[in-house]
Every structure is written in C-alpha cells, then in structure tokens.
Chains A and B, each alone.
Chain A
Amino acid sequence: MTPQNRRKSGVPGAGVGEKLQIRHAKKDELAAAADLIVRTKRLNNEFDPLFAVVADAKPRAEKYVQAAADTPGKLLMVAVEGSKVVGVLRAEIRERTFYEPLMQGFISDFYILPEYRRKAMGNEMLEKASAELKKMGAEFIVADVPAQNEIANRFYVKRGFRAISSLFGKAP
C-alpha cells in the first residue's frame, strides 16, 4: 500500500496515540505488511550496495508475507493503530545442526514507520515476538541486520543481544 492510497482509504492523518495493537497479521493487513517489508529492504540498501533492491520487490514481498502468515514455524506480527499497519516483524524457527541450543527464533525483518519510532513500540514488538517464538519452540532469539546499520545494532545490544557471527561480502 502506498501512502497515497492509504490516505484515500480514510485513515485519519497523524493519528499517533490511538490504541495500538501488536498481534499476528490478519489477511487484509498483508498488503500493508508487504509494503513495510519493502521499506526495510530499501533501508538496508542505504548501508550496503550488496543490498540493492530488486525491481519487483513488491510482488515478492507479498508472497513472502503470505508464506510467513500461512506456514507453520513462521511468524508475521504487525503493529496496528486503528486500521493502519504501522510496524511489521517477520521471523521463523530454524533448527541448527551442530550447536546447542538447537532451536533458534530468527528475526529476519523488523520495521516501524518513522513517526511511531522512539515510543517503546519496538521493544513491545520484540518482546511479543520473542514470547511467540518461544511458544513455537525457540530456545534463543537472533536478529539479522546490516552490519553498517548502527541504529539497529544499538537497538539489539541495548536489549541484551550480542553479535554472534559475522557475514562478510565481496564481489567475486
């Protein structure tokens, strides 16, 4: 959903402060969630050219959130204010081969619209998602963010996370 058609859909402007819900995404929220997923990808591209976003990111994102909502072992949570999706978190359970604990809750995408940041919403989403992932079998939680995204790195470190592996990239 673009900002333009969000406005046409009758959502009142700048309604920060209405009752906020953090929960599993509903079917009619998937398009908005996909839009936010595309935004995270564009944001990642600000940090590294190896995160250049494909031209058809939108339809890919729609399939991606659909799968996250439908597939067991995957999680799609949204923050909703009124009827507007203002945040998204996608995660999945991954079983490791060699290490213990075996079951990890892997947060692959996490985005909150700018006006809703710095309002403790990120914290709440992370906690709810962690609890959800634990119920799904996760023994610990990891989050994937660009190495250069200091804001995201600080967010997790502040909440007790530590960097456990590094992914290095180079054109062949």
Chain B
Amino acid sequence: MKGTPTADSSRKALSYSKFYAGKVGFAPKVPVRSLEDFSIWYTPGVAAVSKAIEADPELSFEYTGRWNTIAVVTDGTRVLGLGNIGPEGALPVMEGKALIYNFLGGVNAMPLPVKVKSQDELISFVSALEPSMGGVNLEDIESPKCFEVLERLRGEMKIPVWHDDQQGTAGVTLAALYNALELTGRKLRGSRIVLFGAGAANVAAERLLVQAGADPKDITVLDSKGILHPEREDIDQLMLKNRWKYDIAIRTNGDRRTGGLKEALKGADALVAAAGQGPKMIKPDEISVMNRRAIAFFLANPVPEMLPDAAKKGGAEIVATGRSDYPNQVNNSLLFPAVFRGALDVRAKTITDAMVIEAAKELAAFAREKGISDHQILPTMVQWAVYPRVAAKVGQAAIRGGVARKKLSAAESLHTATAVIEHSRRVMSALRKSGVILDPPE
C-alpha cells in the first residue's frame, strides 16, 4: 500500500522532488575508456550484436539490458486515492515505484505514464513495448478497465504483465492472512472470509484465495450496493459491464446471504476491507458480529476504512492496515520487487497465480521464522533478506508451472536474486559515498 501523507512528508516530498528533479535516471553499465569504445558499444561493432539477435531474438535477454528491465505503465486514471489525475500527475508516483523496484528488487524499472484515449490504445501501447522489456508493471488503472487490460495483455504478451493493484495487493493480503489464520488457529479452507469492496484488490484477492484453497462458498464479497449474490437485482448488468464481479457473484456466498456488511460479517472469521476512505466506514458493532478471534484488514489509504483501536473495541484480535504508522502494514512493496526479481531471473513469460501464492507463502514463512504475534504478521521492508527468498520461490514456481525460459535450481535462484539485489544496494551506496547522489538539503 502506498504511503500516508503527513504535513512533514508532503513538505519534504515537494522540496526534495524539486531538488533532485527525478528519482531514477539512466547510468551507464559499461566503461567508456576512450571515445574509441563507442565503436564497440555503438556502430560499427554493435551491428554484429544486432545480427545475432535478429537470428535469435531470445538473445536480446543475453546481450542487452532487457533481462532486467520493466516498464511501469499507467494511464493515470486511478492514482493513489486521488482518482483520475492524468498521466503527468501520475509520473512522480511511477518514479517512486521504479525506485522501490530498483532498490529492493534490483530491477531497472522505467516510469511510463501514457496519454491514451481508449482501453484498446493502452493495450496496444503496452503490447508494443514487448521487444525492449523483460516485463510490465501496470499501475493505477481504474476498475473494471484494469481487469480487461490485464487479462488481454497476459494473454497476448510473452513477458510478465503485472497489475500491482490487483496481484500485488492480493498477494500481500494473502500472506498476511496466512499468518493471521495461523495465530488464531485456523486454516484457509474452512474459514469464512468477507471481502468488503469489489475493486482491483478484492477481485484479485477472491481469485487468489480460491486458488490457494479457500472454499468460494465460504467467501462473501460486497460492493457499494451490498452483498454480491447470484440473484441480485443488477446481476444482468454486472454480466454485461463487469464480468469479474459477475463471476464472483455466481460462485461465492454459498449460503445466499443478502444485505449489507453486518449480514455478511455474521459468523465470519476474517474481513478484508478495500472499499474506500474511512475512518468510520465500518463500525465496531459490525465487527462485533464476527466470530471470536476475528481478523480484520483495512487496506484503504491514506485513511483506513476503520481505525485499529475501533476494530479492537469491536472485538477484532488481529488488525492490519495499509499504513506504516500502525502495526501490521499490508504493504505491496514487500511483494512486487521480489516477484519481478524472481520472474526476471528465470525469464518468465508470465506471472501465474501459483507464482503469487508461492510468494505469499514465503513472505508469511519468513515472518514466522522471525516470530509472529498479533502486531507482527508480516516482515518489514528493512528485513531485506526477504526479497531474494521470495524471488527464489517465485522463480521456482515459474519453472514448475512451465512458464520459465531459463531453468535454475532453487539454490541458483536464491543466489542470482541475492547477487542482483545486492548489486543495486552497492550502486546506491557507492553513488552516495562518492557524492554523485547527495543527501537532501535541510
């Protein structure tokens, strides 16, 4: 989840952004010993490399930076909690994302907000990027457009396409849920789960939960009009306008609940809210109808649907939010750098749900090794060893799923991911030490 603005962070963001004028940039990877070297890096020498790649396009992953480069693409239609602020407005966010990709995942990510007039134009733009990219991260695209865009691009592209607001949020939510269930003596199968909000995050969460073993009949999903069920008045409209939500309405909610949040929460074990700005969107008396030892996640940023204190007052035992200033931050940044690291290291053609589930399991396992409690169900971003660990599992899952171009052993996966991420951290450290990157002025 993305950050929480405070007066201090807003002020710093504005002044630092002006000072640095861009958070990421291009730096050479090869030495230029003299201008003679350009006959190697550029023409005439480079023609030999081009011909080799022409004969075997897969060599573009060997002879160029394609193996480690992704595009961070948005149309700027749903940026943070700010809504449709346009592609220019989205640029600082995409730069920030690129920086996180680089520092935590060792991935070269290129911020690319684009001005497009239609969904088809966005799809053809992204699709055309394929030759120069190892993958694509879609970001901040409104729902339900984001579902169609991701589905079509995943179908037609031979490199991974990832929509962080769907798969990233759903993946880290699943990781948090694994440990919350563990702490409260539950298993995914048999737990009654309520998803409040049917946008990008929860639509993906529903699919991931079912793939991970949850019984769809035990899942209840609500949108702004209440509980989704197969005979809701607007079901035919959903079929035509949002078939993802339609499918959820048909396959979930086995006991045919109708009504609102309270009706859904009665006897529920876990709530995942990704519904909109709080802090009073959900009330303690709604939480209190859940089962004892209830789990409640409030993912809206910057203001969670409900504040943790109020949820505890309502009887929730384990509470998580998207914010860093409360315990249990359900933070996408724990996942996406590692997922792409793992996918790129094996040259995956796509990122399957099985790969995301493996990532979630490893994220949860890492936290358990460090010790989990009701206020510590996930690792934190400073535990950087979690990234290569998760990356290795993602790579191995890609190989098992038959979507990897390159086969690595589990040990090789871990070694490669560790080396690439360490390299990125060394670059940062060297650039700061040498004064190429200055500390911000105060």
Q: When A14-B217, A113-B230, A115-B250 are in contact, do A7 and B256 touch as well, CB less than 8 Å?
A: yes
User: How far apart sit A20 and B233, CA to CA, in the bound complex (Å)?
Assistant: 23
Q: Mark B250-279, 1 if CB is under 8 A from A, else 0.
A: 100011101100000000000000000000
Residues from chain A with Cβ under 8 Å of B254 in the complex: 13-14
Q: Is the CB of B240 within 8 A of A114?
A: no
Residues from chain A with Cβ under 8 Å of B232 in the complex: 3
Q: Is the CB of A46 within 8 A of B230?
A: no
Q: Is the CB of A46 within 8 A of B258?
A: no
User: How far apart sit A13 and B230, CA to CA, in the bound complex (Å)?
Assistant: 10
B interface size (C-beta, 8 A): 20
Residues from chain B with Cβ under 8 Å of A43 in the complex: 236-237
A39 within 8 A of B: yes
Q: Is the CB of A114 within 8 A of B258?
A: no
A interface size (C-beta, 8 A): 13
A24 within 8 A of B: no
Q: Is the CB of A114 within 8 A of B256?
A: no
Q: Mark A35-78, 1 if CB is under 8 A from B, else 0.
A: 00001001100100000000000000000000000000000000
Q: Is the CB of B255 within 8 A of A13?
A: yes
B138 within 8 A of A: no
User: How far apart sit A4 and B227, CA to CA, in the bound complex (Å)?
Assistant: 12
Residues from chain A with Cβ under 8 Å of B229 in the complex: 3
Residues from chain A with Cβ under 8 Å of B250 in the complex: 114-115
A6 within 8 A of B: yes
**Chain B: minimal CB distance from A138 (Å):** 28
Q: Mark B218-229, 1 if CB is under 8 A from A, else 0.
A: 000000000001
Residues from chain A with Cβ under 8 Å of B249 in the complex: 114
Residue from B217, B231, B233 in contact with A42 in the complex, judged by beta carbons closer than 8 Å: B233
Closest to A13 in B: B256
Q: Could you say which of A4, A13, A39, A113 has the most chain B C-beta atoms within 10 Å of its C-beta?
A: A13
Q: Could you say which of B231, B237, B239, B249 has the most chain A C-beta atoms within 10 Å of its C-beta?
A: B231
Residue from A3, A4, A6, A46 in contact with B237 in the complex, judged by beta carbons closer than 8 Å: A46
B246 within 8 A of A: yes
B235 within 8 A of A: yes
Residues from chain A with Cβ under 8 Å of B217 in the complex: 14
Q: When A6-B231, A14-B217 are in contact, do A42 and B258 touch as well, CB less than 8 Å?
A: no
Residue from B230, B237, B255, B259 in contact with A115 in the complex, judged by beta carbons closer than 8 Å: B230
Q: Mark A7-49, 1 if CB is under 8 A from B, else 0.
A: 1000001100000000000000000000000010011001000
**Chain B: minimal CB distance from A148 (Å):** 10
**Chain A: minimal CB distance from B218 (Å):** 12
Q: Is the CB of A3 within 8 A of B255?
A: no
Q: When A14-B217, A113-B230 are in contact, do A3 and B236 touch as well, CB less than 8 Å?
A: no
Q: Could you say which of A13, A113, A114, A115 has the most chain B C-beta atoms within 10 Å of its C-beta?
A: A114
User: How far apart sit A13 and B217, CA to CA, in the bound complex (Å)?
Assistant: 10
**Chain B: minimal CB distance from A62 (Å):** 17
User: How far apart sit A113 and B231, CA to CA, in the bound complex (Å)?
Assistant: 7
User: How far apart sit A3 and B239, CA to CA, in the bound complex (Å)?
Assistant: 18
Q: Could you say which of B232, B236, B240, B259 has the most chain A C-beta atoms within 10 Å of its C-beta?
A: B236
Q: Is the CB of A114 within 8 A of B255?
A: no
User: How far apart sit A13 and B231, CA to CA, in the bound complex (Å)?
Assistant: 11
Q: Is the CB of A46 within 8 A of B240?
A: yes
Residues from chain A with Cβ under 8 Å of B255 in the complex: 13
Q: Is the CB of B256 within 8 A of A39?
A: no
User: How far apart sit A164 and B192, CA to CA, in the bound complex (Å)?
Assistant: 52
Q: Is the CB of B256 within 8 A of A14?
A: yes
Closest to B239 in A: A114
Residues from chain A with Cβ under 8 Å of B237 in the complex: 42-43, 46
Residues from chain A with Cβ under 8 Å of B259 in the complex: 4
Q: Mark B189-230, 1 if CB is under 8 A from A, else 0.
A: 000000000000000000000000000010000000000011
Q: Which residues in chain B, 344-382, are within 8 Å of chain A measured between CB atoms? A: none
Q: Is the CB of A7 within 8 A of B258?
A: yes
Residues from chain A with Cβ under 8 Å of B235 in the complex: 114
Q: When A13-B256, A14-B217, A114-B246 are in contact, do A3 and B231 touch as well, CB less than 8 Å?
A: yes
Q: Is the CB of B258 within 8 A of A39?
A: no
Q: Is the CB of B233 within 8 A of A114?
A: no
Q: Is the CB of A3 within 8 A of B258?
A: yes
Residues from chain B with Cβ under 8 Å of A113 in the complex: 230-231
**Chain A: minimal CB distance from B231 (Å):** 4
Residues from chain B with Cβ under 8 Å of A39 in the complex: 233, 236
Residues from chain A with Cβ under 8 Å of B236 in the complex: 39, 42-43, 46, 114
Residues from chain B with Cβ under 8 Å of A7 in the complex: 256, 258
- Known contacts A46-B240, A114-B230; 8 further A-B pairs (Cβ under 8 A): A4-B259, A7-B256, A13-B255, A14-B230, A39-B236, A43-B237, A46-B237, A115-B230
Chain A residues packing against B (C-beta within 8 Å): 3-4, 6-7, 13-14, 39, 42-43, 46, 113-115
Q: List 6 A-B contacts (CB under 8 A).
A: A6-B231, A13-B255, A14-B256, A42-B236, A42-B237, A115-B250
Instruction: State the 8 A-B residue pairs at the shortest beta-carbon distance, nearest first.
Output: A13-B256, A3-B231, A43-B236, A115-B230, A4-B258, A46-B240, A114-B235, A13-B255
